[in-house]
Amino acid sequence: METWSCEIAPLVTMPDQDMRVPASVFMFSDGVGWLGIIASVSRPFCMNCNRIRLTADGKLRNCLFALDELDVKAVMRGGGSDEEIIQLIRRSVYDKWEGHEINTARFVQPQRAMYAIGG
């Protein structure tokens, strides 16, 4: 069995990060490339989150840990108007939680894990 190892340059925090984005962005110290790390449990960003997600099967989720999803695909395939889709999106944004509460006793694990929603 062949083994190999790979080292990457040390990471440097990217200056002037946008606090609305969920990732902490780092660049390689050699200047060739960057990466983002989303630490939603150890560094919650819920109060600044401006994201909603469209899953691979056409459902709208306003949080990766959301328990409910709105079916955009069904509205579209059912002949729904642009206004109906807009209202669905607005409803999702309006219903967005203050936080997922993953570090509390109130947290409820969603039925579909992140890997099952295309995220």
54 in the same domain as 108 = yes
16 in the same domain as 55 = no
Structural domains counted in the chain: 2
30 in the same domain as 63 = no
70 in the same domain as 107 = yes
| Residue type at 26 in one-letter notation | F
Evaluate if residue 86 carries a pLDDT over 90: yes
100 in the same domain as 58 = yes
Domain assignment of residue 7, given as a range: 1-38
Q: What is the pTM of this model?
A: 0.66
Q: Beginning with the edge strand found earlier in the chain, give each strand of the sheet holding 34-37 in spatial order.
A: 11-13, 24-28, 34-37
Confidence of residue 7 (pLDDT cuts 50, 70, 90): low
Share of the chain above pLDDT 90, in %: 24
List, for residues 24-46, the tens digit of each pLDDT value: 889 888 878 888 888 777 777 77
Q: Is residue 23, in this structure, part of any structural domain at all?
A: yes
List, for residues 42-73, the tens digit of each pLDDT value: 777 777 777 888 988 999 998 888 888 999 99
The pairing of strands 24-28 and 53-54 is unpaired
